[in-house]
Amino acid sequence: MTSAAEVRAAVAATHRSDWARIVGGLIRFTGDWTLAEDSAQEAFETALQRWERDGIPPAPGAWLTTVARNRAIDRMRRVATEQRVLRSAAALDPAEPDADDDRLRLLFTCCHPALGLEARVALTLRSVAGLTTAEIARAFLVPEPTMAQRLVRAKAKIAHAGIPYRVPPPELLGERLPGVLAVLYLLFTEGYSATSGDAVVREPLAEEAIRLARLLRELMPRETEVSALLALMLLHHARRAGRMGESGDAVPIDLQDRALWDAVAIDEAVTLLRRSGSRGPYALQASIAARHATSPSWEATDFEGIVSDYDALLLLEPSPVVALNRAIAIGMADGAAAGLDAVRQVADAPQHLALAAEADFLRRLGRREEAAAMYRSAIAVARTAPNRRYFEARLREVET
Amino acid sequence: MQYLFLIGSAPDAPAETEADDGPTIEEWAREVYEERGAGKMGDRLRPASEATTVRIRRGETLVTDGPFVEGSEYIGGFDVIECENLDEAVEIAAKHPMARHGLIEIRPVWSLGL
């Protein structure tokens, strides 16, 4: 007899390390996503009962692979499928050399551009990360049947439209990899942007994204932007304890207690970034985050370096938000007057961000009445309650 | 896999000169139909103003002038393509000159097996 707690921990650990490989292998042999996921799910449920009675097997991943494969064969027998498929499924060897490829195949297929972005994200969480439909539905605040249907539709499109189950060949890899990275980063920001009520529910999303980025890096060690994306996620995530104020609202970076930042994660990220040698969009964003994360204080931050990173990023990905952040960095490097000028030159920036930036520079220039008016406009267009409360606090500051 | 390509014109297509760089329709047809054998049949279509729609309602055959859905006025041609998977279909579609001048909708054929 093994204690229930030990078994739960062992099953959870194997779920994290082996789920994608098991599902990926079953899909390759059966061609049936739902059957593969259901069989894997059943195998993990079986492990919870059996391991308590018989003890945790010496190779839990291999044990689960075998049980999942047998479940898949049972299910296929029940629906009396082709003999050919049955034979190849029976030959699935848990220790086979291209097990890594199964996980990559799974990830690239989940992130195929012919699937809608929402479907890609949901499918990645279900098939690669092994979250249940209910967990994914909770994370995205949609009813479970809605999420279930989204997953069913995505799998149907993969089957019916002939989306290939494979890692794209080299000539396509360049255009497909950014799509995979975008899904992982979206997953991360989705978890990260929740700053109030939902934070408890969504933090696991950010951690899941980091885990998937680690997996992708392990599988594609030579793709430098994969390392850069992982570094970027780690840097943001390292500051999470400092972001959360006592009221539950986000604390802006200049007011955060840097002692709360995770120094180990920051070190790991900085090393990853340096070794990657990349100057792609994720590397530039990571470089900006690293300059913040490694500075002893807000005032000592290397804002000149940040401005030059933003210059490079603007060339790769011109966007009003990047332009606005660059303008704010100019204000930090060259003074509030230069910042105000730069902010006012940015076209099409999201209104609530542009107003807040202008208001902050006006406040620093001592132009309190103009700043107050600007904060009032920002309050009127704020998109979230924590945002609004932040502007209200700054408004009170300039009014006193 | 078998796919139907619906070749359409698009309002957001780039100006002619910008889109002129690439295979002509003759070059595309030669590669896809003759060299690769992926093309099964295809051609241009007369404009939607010359379409006729047929339906039977309460036992009566109704014939009306024009296309049956809005939007189909943009469809100017079609191809039936047989290839390995969606990635190959996308690759073939991307070489079609109308991918530059308009757009191509790829629909998997849902065979009745008749």
Q: Which residue of A has its CA nearest to B89?
A: A162
Contacts with A247 (C-beta within 8 Å, 6 or more apart), sequence order: A389
C-alpha torsion sign, points A128, A133, A134, A139: positive
**Domain residue spans of chain B:** 14-108
Residue A99, pLDDT score:
59
Please state, in angstroms and rounded to a whole number, the distance separating the CA atoms of residues A375 and A395.
6
Does the pLDDT at position B29 exceed 90? yes
What ipTM, to 2 d.p.? Answer: 0.85
Residue A100, pLDDT score:
62
For chain A, the residues whose C-beta falls within 8 A of a C-beta of chain B are 112, 114, 160-164, 168, 172
Q: Which residue of A has its CA nearest to B110?
A: A160
B110 vs A contacts (CB less than 8 Å): 160
Q: Are B69 and B110 in contact (CB under 8 A)?
A: no
Please state, in angstroms and rounded to a whole number, the distance separating the CA atoms of residues A226 and B52.
54
What's the CATH architecture for B14-108? 2-Layer Sandwich (3.30)
B108 vs A contacts (CB less than 8 Å): 160-162
Residue A82, pLDDT score:
56
Q: Is B45 exposed, middle or buried (0-12, 13-18, 19+ CB in 10 A)?
A: middle
Q: Which residue of A has its CA nearest to B106?
A: A161
B81 vs A contacts (CB less than 8 Å): none
- Is there a contact between B85 and A160 if contact means CB atoms under 8 Å apart? no
B84 vs A contacts (CB less than 8 Å): 162, 164
- Is there a contact between B87 and A161 if contact means CB atoms under 8 Å apart? no
- Is there a contact between B85 and A163 if contact means CB atoms under 8 Å apart? yes
Please state, in angstroms and rounded to a whole number, the distance separating the CA atoms of residues B33 and B99.
17
H, E, C per residue of chain A: CCCHHHHHHHHHHHHHHHHHHHHHHHHHHHCCHHHHHHHHHHHHHHHHHHHHHHCCCCCHHHHHHHHHHHHHHHHHHHCCCCHHHHHHHHCCCCCCCCHHHHHHHHHHHHCCCCCCHHHHHHHHHHHHCCCCHHHHHHHCCCCHHHHHHHHHHHHHHHHHCCCCCCCCCHHHHHHHHHHHHHHHHHHHHHHHCCCCCCHHHHHHHHHHHHHHHHHHHHHCCCCHHHHHHHHHHHHHHHCHHHHECCCCCECCHHHCCHHHCCHHHHHHHHHHHHHHCCCCHHHHHHHHHHHHHCCCCCCCCCHHHHHHHHHHHHHHCCCHHHHHHHHHHHHHHHCHHHHHHHHHHCCCCCHHHHHHHHHHHHHHCCCHHHHHHHHHHHHHHCCCHHHHHHHHHHHHHHHC
Q: Which of A179, A180, A118 has its CA nearest to residue A149?
A: A118
B89 vs A contacts (CB less than 8 Å): 162
Does the pLDDT at position B18 exceed 80? no
- Is there a contact between B89 and A162 if contact means CB atoms under 8 Å apart? yes
B99 alpha-carbon distance from chain centroid = 10
Token pair, residue A195, equals 């700053």
The minimal CB distance from B108 to the residues A162, A164, A172 is found for: A162
List per-residue pLDDT tens for chain A, 400 residues long: 678 899 999 999 999 889 999 999 999 988 899 999 999 999 999 999 999 999 999 999 999 999 999 999 998 888 765 555 555 544 455 445 465 678 889 999 999 999 999 999 999 999 998 888 998 888 888 899 999 999 999 999 999 999 999 889 888 888 899 999 999 998 898 877 654 444 444 677 888 899 999 999 998 899 999 999 999 999 999 998 888 777 767 788 888 999 999 999 999 999 999 999 999 999 999 999 999 999 999 999 999 999 999 999 999 989 999 999 999 999 999 999 999 999 999 988 888 889 999 999 999 999 999 999 999 999 988 877 777 888 888 899 888 7
Q: Are A278 and A225 in contact (CB under 8 A)?
A: yes
- Is there a contact between B86 and A163 if contact means CB atoms under 8 Å apart? yes
- Cα A187 to Cα A129, A135, A171, A182: the distances in Å are 11, 14, 27, 8
What is chain B's alpha carbon radius of gyration, rounded to the nearest angstrom? 16
A161 vs B contacts (CB less than 8 Å): 86, 106, 108
Q: Are B106 and B5 in contact (CB under 8 A)?
A: yes
Q: Helix (H, G, I), strand (E, B), or coil: what is residue B46?
A: coil
Return the H-helix or E-strand segment holding B47: none
Q: Say how many C-beta atoms besides its own lie within 10 A of residue B46's C-beta.
A: 8
Query: pLDDT (tens digit, 9 = 90+) per residue, B61-111?
Result: 999 888 887 766 689 999 999 999 999 999 999 999 999 989 999 999 998
- Is there a contact between B85 and A164 if contact means CB atoms under 8 Å apart? yes
Q: Are A74 and A15 in contact (CB under 8 A)?
A: no
Q: Are A210 and A233 in contact (CB under 8 A)?
A: yes
Please state, in angstroms and rounded to a whole number, the distance separating the CA atoms of residues A155 and A127.
10
A162 vs B contacts (CB less than 8 Å): 1, 3, 84-86, 89, 108
- Is there a contact between B1 and A114 if contact means CB atoms under 8 Å apart? no
A111 min Cα distance to partner chain B (Å): 13
Q: Are A76 and A86 in contact (CB under 8 A)?
A: yes
Q: Which residue of B has its CA nearest to A168?
A: B87
- Is there a contact between B87 and A160 if contact means CB atoms under 8 Å apart? no
- Is there a contact between A160 and B108 if contact means CB atoms under 8 Å apart? yes
Q: Are A51 and A7 in contact (CB under 8 A)?
A: yes
pTM for this model (two decimals): 0.82
A159 min Cα distance to partner chain B (Å): 10
Q: Are A128 and A212 in contact (CB under 8 A)?
A: yes
